[in-house]
Every structure is written in structure tokens, then in C-alpha cells.
Amino acid sequence: MSIRSFLILTALLCGCAPVSAPPANDTSATDGVALFSAATLTASESITTEAIREVVAEISADRYAGRGPGSEGDRAARAYLAGRLAAAGFRPGAADGSWEQPFGLIGIRADQPSSWAFSSEVGDLILDQSDDFIVASGVQAAVASVSDAEVVFVGYGIQAPEYDWDDYKDANLEGKVLLMLNNDPDWDPDLFGGDTRLYYGRWTYKYESAARQGAVGAIIIHTTPSAGYPWQVVQTSWSGEQFELPAGAEPRLQVAAWVTEDAARELVDQSGLDLDALITAAREPGFIPVPLQLRTSIELQNSLSQATTANVIGLLDGSDPELADEVVVYMAHHDHLGVAEPTPGDDPNVDRIYNGARDNGIGVAVVTAIADSLAALPERPRRSTLIAFVGAEEQGLLGSKFLAAEPVVPAGRMAALLNFDGGNIWGRTSDISFVGYGKSTLDEVADIVASLQGRIVRPDQYPDRGYYYRSDQFSLAQIGVPGIFLRGGSEFIGRPAGWGEQQLLAYERENYHQPSDELTDDWDFSGLIEDARFGFLAGLLIANGDGLPAWRPGDEFEAARLEALDAL
């Protein structure tokens, strides 16, 4: 884009008086003051290492006990965040005029059996809990049980008419336990987005899909490449008390499980078949479910509880009477995994608190810093700003799902969402990753801010991991709101190629969803500060623009957006 086009587009997006564009042959560097006022740039500079470190240190401190949903630490975190918004000059944004949008949770603590038996004509195969399998209750009841059910391999467990793909082929799967592959078909760029994982590849879809077939159980085969995280993440994320929104009339499984790849191979071997051959067959659209000649029973004794958590909502009123009823949403989830339950033989001195400093103390701190900077502007943005610190994200995006179901502002008046979940703790980058790049006109906004910072925007660097469907922007996308989900860049200044990926993989291997996710002295905030300022400036462009961002024609969420706008 030329400098002239760059400035003109910026003027159009921000709805301000056209800037004085240089002559078409002028190749001088773009002056940031020409894009944003001096006051705006000064406000962005208030997003500093000290501002973000302070909030990360606070929210990830041991006294918050890992911010488990409904816990005392959760309540303390919500009170702290409401106080920060009030101090910044925001007003309560929940429907009843309070800071909190409460929602109820059902806690399910499943007593997982130490082993799980699968029977065939040649004998029994016994899998060990944690090492081989993890199982959770699919029902909000005192007992979840499967009795002498047949096990059937169902490929990817996907029904996608738009791709002429149906793994079930009208098979009678009532009362069966379904064994299925993780991810979605990824070998053809014209099929399921190629290596970009769609919602069809998420575990939530697979369990929902199995329940719609009348199955009593579903088992997903875990591999690190197909999941995007190692087995230890399944072990920690699916142990202890699990939370859900209260059940409705939707079909539900009795049990939802994972097995390791090695355990899956043993299961299929026990049936006299070969897992690799089944995987090859599952790659064909003509695949039909394969009974494995295995039968299984399992019973979980569940302890049920009720809890309440809340989304913390703040509003900063816009300055334009015609646009102030529309909002730009900044979002970060405030919860984490709480405290690990002790097991027999544990060292009592071992740290069991899931502090969640990077996930998602960083996101909370970035949004808090942006809120402070927005409120400090001498002139408010044209549109209003809605800050949503949502709860129970780690339990399946529950807080943002509730916000989408009970929006405090109609979906058609949500101009766009900027979501922050995790962040860069390793230094400055020459790029920034935008998960969802290519889906909406927000691409242009991101490109403008990146150019101002002397950076480039890259799409999701790990499209096979399905990050778009793993964080809270997905919930609002489902009601039509386009969003920007920023993840740190991958090209670190002064570092060799691939260095950034090494750091990320090491974090996932050692700290992701582990008690070791803590604020340490070796964090480098310089890149995170740039990313936070990026979000601040991108939000201002959206807030001050004349028109609303839109999905690209044909995008999976375009119809929801049109419906939301029609509802106005």
C-alpha cells in the first residue's frame, strides 16, 4: 500500500477529517502523528512494562489460589478487576447496573476408576487411569454409567454437508461408545480448510456430534500433533472438579473420554484390526463406521455442586451521539484452574496452585492497561468501549458463551471484539500473529497499525491447532461479531529463525496448564508492550470509524452477523 493510500484509508476508517496526504511520488516515512493525534500516541505510551507487570503479579499471586471458578480466589479476582475499571473511569456495564454478570455453574467431580476394561473374544484389555485414559462425566447426575456397550470406530466423527462429508452414514449408534480421531481432515486445501483446523476438529464438537447420534460414550484418540498440546495437558485440564453451564434439553453422553495413541492401538489390536488401516480408511468420504468387536462398561460416581461466577463488565461511553450505542469489546478471561488436588504420596511441599500468570494474567493485564489508556484520552472515542473480563473460559469458554447468550449490548451493536489470551514474554518481534486474519475487514485495521509500528501481520502461525475455536472470540463470532485475536509474533528481533517457536513449545511442554505458569524475573515485556499498544490503536480505529467491520462474503459467521443486524 502506498503512503498516500495508507493515509487516506486511515482517515476513512477513523471517520476523522482527511489528513493531508503527501504527493503521490512522496516515499518518505509515515509520520505516526498523521495517523493518530499526539494525545492518542501519548496515551498509548502509558501502556508500560510496569503497568502490565503490576496486574500480572497481582492476579497470579498465590492468594488468588489459581482463580478456580466460584472459589474465593475467583471472587477476589473479580472484585479487583471491577475496582480497576472503576478507578479508570468506567461505569458498571452489566444489565442490572452492576459490575458483574453472574451465571451459575454445575460442578462435577467424577470419581474416575483406576482402570477401564474392554472385552473381546480373546480376553480383556485393561487401561490405566491417567497413563492411558482420562474420562469425565457427560451428565449432571450422581452416576454416569455405560453398561456392556459396543465400541465403534467412527473416523473423525464429523457430519459436514457443505463438504459432502458424513462419518456416520446413518449407522445405528444408539447406546454405543464411539472411538474417534482428533482434528479434522487436513490433507486437501479444498476440504475443511486444509491444514487450518475448523470447529469440526475441536473436542467439543466431537462430543456434541457423538451425543447427537445417541451414543452413550465417546473416546478421542490423543496425539500431540492432532491436539496441539501434550498428554499432560489432558491430564491436568480434565482432572478434579469440572464445571458446566446448567444442562438444557440437548442430547448428552454418559461419559466423555480421551485415550493416548498407544492405548488406542492396543484397543484396536484387541479387536483384531489395525489402527493405521482404520485411519487410512477414515480419510475417504465413503468411510463407514467400523464395529470393533469390543464391549465395555464403566461407572463414574459423581459429586455435584452448584457455584456462581461472573463476567466483569465495564463501559466507557462514546462521544458521538449517533454511534455511542455501539461498542468495541475488549475481552480477556480472568479464571484459571484453581488448585490441584493432592494424591496419595504427594510431597506436601509441592506447589499445587495453578497461578496462570501467562494464561491468562497477561490478557487481563493487557486489557486493564488498555482500559486505563482509553479512559485517559482527552476526547473519548466515538463508539463506546465495553470491557469484558469473562469467567470459566478454561471450562469450555463458559463465560463468553453466557455473554453471547445474554448480551449486555445487542450483538448487532457490537462493532468488533479484541480478545487477549496469553501473550509474548520473550521480547520484541518484527511481526504479530492475528488469529482469524482473512475472515473480516478487520484485516485492514490490523495492517494499518502494524505498518505504524514497522511490523507485518501474519495469519495464525499454527492453523492446525484450531486456536480460533479455542478462545473467547469464538463465542461472540457465533452471534456474528467479528474479532481480532492477537497472539505474539514469531520473528524475534536479534534472534535466529525458529527461536520463537522453540520458546513457545518449551512453554507448552513445561508450563501450560501447570503450576509452573508463574511470573518470573526472566520475562521480557518489550514485545508484549508493543502488542498491547497494537490492540489499543486498533480498537481506536474501529471505535472512530464511520462503518462497521464486516465478515468476508461467504465466511462461516457472515449469516449470524446479518441476522444480528436485521434484529435491530
- How far apart (Å, rounded) are the C-alpha atoms in residues 518 and 516? 5
Q: How confident is the model at residue 425 (pLDDT cuts 50, 70, 90)?
A: very high
The pLDDT, as a whole number, for residue 35 is 67
Q: How confident is the model at residue 348 (pLDDT cuts 50, 70, 90)?
A: confident
Q: What is the mean pLDDT of residues 289-306?
A: 97
Average pLDDT over residues 284-297: 96
The pLDDT of residue 13 is 42
pLDDT at residue number 466:
86
The residue ranking higher by pLDDT, 350 or 19, is 350
pLDDT tens by residue, 399-413: 999 999 999 999 999
How far apart, in Å, are the Cα atoms of 17 and each of 6, 383, 536? 15, 17, 21
Return the closest-CA partner of residue 16 out of 413, 315, 319, 317: 319
Please, what CATH class does the domain formed by 43-98+317-566 belong to?
alpha beta
Task: Tell me whether domains 43-98+317-566 and 108-304 share a fold.
Answer: no
**Looking at domain 108-304, which of 3.40.50.720, 1.10.3720.10, 3.20.20.70, 3.50.30.30 is its CATH number?**
3.50.30.30
Weakest-pLDDT range from 26-35, 212-221, 293-302: 26-35
Angle made by CA atoms 272, 275, 276, in degrees to the nearest 5: 130
The pLDDT assigned to 195 comes to: 85
Instruction: Flag whether pLDDT at 25 surpasses 70.
Output: no
Q: What is the mean pLDDT of residues 193-216?
A: 93
Looking at the predicted structure, is the pLDDT value of residue 236 above 90?
no
Q: Is pLDDT above 60 for 15?
A: no
| pLDDT range class, residue 538, cuts 50, 70, 90 | very high
Q: Residues 254-288: pLDDT tens digits?
A: 999 999 999 999 999 999 999 999 999 999 999 99
Torsion-angle region of 548 (φ positive above 0: left; ψ -120 to 50: alpha; else: beta): beta
pLDDT tens-digit series, residues 426-460: 999 999 999 999 999 999 999 999 999 999 999 99
Q: How far apart are CA 169 and CA 287, in angstroms?
A: 8
Mean pLDDT, residues 317-338: 97
Of 535, 518, 538, 539, residue with least CA distance to 53: 518
Residue 559 burial (CB count, 10 A):
12
pLDDT value at 11 more than 60: no
Q: How confident is the model at residue 7 (pLDDT cuts 50, 70, 90)?
A: very low
- Map out the domains of the chain as residue ranges: 1-35, 43-98+317-566, 108-304
Share of the chain above pLDDT 90, in %: 83
Q: Rg of the Cα trace of the chain? A: 24
Given a cut of 90, whether residue 520 has pLDDT beyond it is: yes
Query: Is the predicted pLDDT of residue 31 greater than 50, yes or no?
Result: no
Q: How confident is the model at residue 136 (pLDDT cuts 50, 70, 90)?
A: very high
Is pLDDT of 30 > 70?
no
Please give the mean pLDDT across all residues of the chain: 92
H-run or E-run covering 12: helix 3-14
Higher-pLDDT residue of 12 and 553 is: 553
138-167 pLDDT, tens digit per residue, is 999 999 999 999 999 999 999 999 999 999
